[in-house]
Amino acid sequence: MDSKQTLLIIDDEPSICKILEHFLKKDFNVVIKHDGSEGMLWLEEGNEIDLVIADLNMPNLSGKEFLKVAKASNLYMDIPIVILSGSDESSERIQCLNLGADDFMLKPFNPLEVQAKINAILRRSRRFS
Protein backbone atom coordinates (compact mmCIF):
# COMPACT_ATOMS: atom_id res chain seq x y z
CA MET A 1 0.00 0.00 0.00
CA ASP A 2 1.42 3.34 -1.02
CA SER A 3 1.03 5.70 1.90
CA LYS A 4 2.19 8.76 -0.02
CA GLN A 5 -0.37 11.47 -0.55
CA THR A 6 -1.19 12.43 -4.12
CA LEU A 7 -0.77 15.89 -5.58
CA LEU A 8 -2.32 17.04 -8.84
CA ILE A 9 -0.24 19.73 -10.51
CA ILE A 10 -1.95 21.65 -13.29
CA ASP A 11 0.27 24.04 -15.21
CA ASP A 12 0.80 24.73 -18.89
CA GLU A 13 4.49 25.57 -18.37
CA PRO A 14 6.54 22.35 -18.60
CA SER A 15 9.45 23.91 -16.69
CA ILE A 16 7.22 24.64 -13.67
CA CYS A 17 5.84 21.09 -13.75
CA LYS A 18 9.37 19.67 -13.88
CA ILE A 19 10.59 21.76 -10.94
CA LEU A 20 7.59 20.90 -8.77
CA GLU A 21 7.68 17.23 -9.67
CA HIS A 22 11.40 17.06 -8.95
CA PHE A 23 11.01 18.58 -5.49
CA LEU A 24 7.79 16.87 -4.49
CA LYS A 25 8.04 13.34 -5.87
CA LYS A 26 10.15 12.19 -2.93
CA ASP A 27 7.28 12.78 -0.49
CA PHE A 28 4.22 12.64 -2.74
CA ASN A 29 2.74 10.88 -5.73
CA VAL A 30 2.74 13.64 -8.33
CA VAL A 31 0.28 13.74 -11.22
CA ILE A 32 0.85 16.39 -13.91
CA LYS A 33 -1.85 17.84 -16.15
CA HIS A 34 -1.31 20.74 -18.54
CA ASP A 35 -4.56 22.65 -18.26
CA GLY A 36 -7.58 22.91 -16.01
CA SER A 37 -9.93 20.90 -18.19
CA GLU A 38 -7.39 18.05 -18.38
CA GLY A 39 -7.11 18.17 -14.59
CA MET A 40 -10.88 18.18 -14.14
CA LEU A 41 -11.34 15.26 -16.56
CA TRP A 42 -8.74 13.27 -14.65
CA LEU A 43 -10.58 13.97 -11.37
CA GLU A 44 -13.89 13.02 -12.94
CA GLU A 45 -12.45 9.61 -13.84
CA GLY A 46 -12.57 8.93 -10.09
CA ASN A 47 -8.94 9.58 -9.24
CA GLU A 48 -8.45 10.58 -5.63
CA ILE A 49 -6.06 13.33 -4.68
CA ASP A 50 -5.06 15.13 -1.52
CA LEU A 51 -4.18 18.53 -2.93
CA VAL A 52 -4.16 20.48 -6.21
CA ILE A 53 -1.60 23.03 -7.34
CA ALA A 54 -3.04 24.99 -10.26
CA ASP A 55 -1.62 27.78 -12.36
CA LEU A 56 -3.84 30.86 -12.52
CA ASN A 57 -3.47 31.50 -16.25
CA MET A 58 -3.89 28.43 -18.44
CA PRO A 59 -5.64 27.62 -21.70
CA ASN A 60 -9.05 25.87 -21.72
CA LEU A 61 -9.80 26.16 -18.02
CA SER A 62 -7.86 28.67 -15.96
CA GLY A 63 -6.85 28.11 -12.35
CA LYS A 64 -9.63 30.44 -11.26
CA GLU A 65 -12.24 28.56 -13.34
CA PHE A 66 -10.91 25.24 -12.06
CA LEU A 67 -11.27 26.57 -8.53
CA LYS A 68 -14.87 27.65 -9.14
CA VAL A 69 -15.81 24.27 -10.62
CA ALA A 70 -14.05 22.29 -7.87
CA LYS A 71 -15.51 24.31 -5.00
CA ALA A 72 -19.01 24.09 -6.50
CA SER A 73 -18.79 20.29 -6.62
CA ASN A 74 -19.73 18.12 -3.65
CA LEU A 75 -17.04 15.66 -4.71
CA TYR A 76 -14.13 18.09 -4.84
CA MET A 77 -15.06 20.97 -2.54
CA ASP A 78 -12.87 19.64 0.29
CA ILE A 79 -9.73 19.19 -1.81
CA PRO A 80 -7.20 21.90 -0.89
CA ILE A 81 -6.14 24.02 -3.86
CA VAL A 82 -3.03 26.18 -4.12
CA ILE A 83 -2.99 28.70 -6.96
CA LEU A 84 0.29 29.68 -8.65
CA SER A 85 0.55 32.93 -10.51
CA GLY A 86 3.11 34.93 -12.40
CA SER A 87 1.27 38.15 -11.62
CA ASP A 88 1.37 39.96 -8.32
CA GLU A 89 -2.14 41.36 -8.75
CA SER A 90 -3.53 41.48 -5.25
CA SER A 91 -7.07 41.63 -6.67
CA GLU A 92 -6.45 38.24 -8.36
CA ARG A 93 -5.08 36.84 -5.13
CA ILE A 94 -8.05 38.11 -3.11
CA GLN A 95 -10.49 36.73 -5.69
CA CYS A 96 -8.88 33.28 -5.63
CA LEU A 97 -8.80 33.16 -1.83
CA ASN A 98 -12.44 34.26 -1.71
CA LEU A 99 -13.31 31.52 -4.22
CA GLY A 100 -11.84 28.96 -1.84
CA ALA A 101 -8.13 28.66 -2.68
CA ASP A 102 -6.12 27.52 0.33
CA ASP A 103 -3.07 29.48 -0.69
CA PHE A 104 -1.71 31.64 -3.46
CA MET A 105 1.93 31.61 -4.49
CA LEU A 106 3.84 33.81 -6.87
CA LYS A 107 6.18 32.55 -9.57
CA PRO A 108 9.10 32.32 -9.49
CA PHE A 109 8.79 30.46 -6.22
CA ASN A 110 11.13 28.65 -3.90
CA PRO A 111 10.17 24.95 -4.30
CA LEU A 112 11.01 24.35 -0.63
CA GLU A 113 8.49 27.01 0.35
CA VAL A 114 5.88 25.37 -1.87
CA GLN A 115 6.60 22.07 -0.13
CA ALA A 116 6.35 23.67 3.32
CA LYS A 117 3.02 25.26 2.43
CA ILE A 118 1.65 21.98 1.05
CA ASN A 119 2.66 20.20 4.25
CA ALA A 120 1.01 22.90 6.38
CA ILE A 121 -2.24 22.74 4.39
CA LEU A 122 -2.32 18.93 4.50
CA ARG A 123 -1.70 18.98 8.27
CA ARG A 124 -4.66 21.32 8.68
CA SER A 125 -6.95 19.32 6.40
CA ARG A 126 -6.04 16.06 8.20
CA ARG A 127 -7.00 17.62 11.50
CA PHE A 128 -10.48 18.33 10.21
CA SER A 129 -11.10 15.13 8.35
Lowest mean per-residue pLDDT among 9-13, 16-20, 22-26, 86-90: 86-90
Computed over every residue of the chain, the mean pLDDT equals 93
Segment 42-69 mean pLDDT: 95
The reported pLDDT for the residue numbered 54 is 97
pTM of the model: 0.94
The domains located in the chain, with CATH, are 5-128 (3.40.50.2300)
Task: Output the pLDDT for position 18.
Answer: 97
Q: What is the mean pLDDT of residues 34-61?
A: 95
DSSP assignment string, 7-62: EEEE-S-HHHHHHHHHHHTTTEEEEEESSHHHHHHHHHTT---SEEEEESS-SSS-
Please give the pLDDT value at position 3.
83
